Amino acid sequence: MSEGEINATDIPTDIIREDDGSGEKFLKHQLALKGFRDKVERKYIIEVLKYEEGNISKTAKALDIDRTYLHKKSLSLELKNLTILYKLNSSC
């Protein structure tokens, strides 16, 4: 993801589909804005967490949010424990 830009590669693949041969991408189903935003935010937080090698403070700084807000956000996005999540995702 380029800073400040969102493109088709930033959208989780489970909610997009290819059109019939045109190469255009469309949503598979209608999704409320909050649900869509949560999926994208969840994916982005995980990517930044991987980039920062599981360091919560650096992840919060890279996201330009307070560390406490990152913890609250992670709970609301069902990311439970960010450190454990990083360890699980980095072993793949």
C-alpha to C-alpha distance for 70 and 75, rounded to whole angstroms: 9
pLDDT of residue 1: 45
Count of the separate structural domains present in the chain: 1
On whether residue 3 sits in a domain, the answer given is: no
Does 1 fall in a domain? no
Q: Which residues contact 7 (CB under 8 A, 6 or more apart)?
A: 1
Q: Which residue has the higher pLDDT, 83 or 52?
A: 52
In a domain, 58, yes or no: yes
- Within-domain flag for 37: yes
> Model's pTM, two decimal places?
0.59
How far is residue 5's CA from residue 26's CA, in Å, rounded to a whole number?
A: 18
> Which residue segment(s) compose the domain that 16 sits in?
8-90
Does 52 reside within a domain?
A: yes
Query: What pLDDT digit, counting tens, does each position of 19-36 carry?
Result: 555 555 555 556 677 888
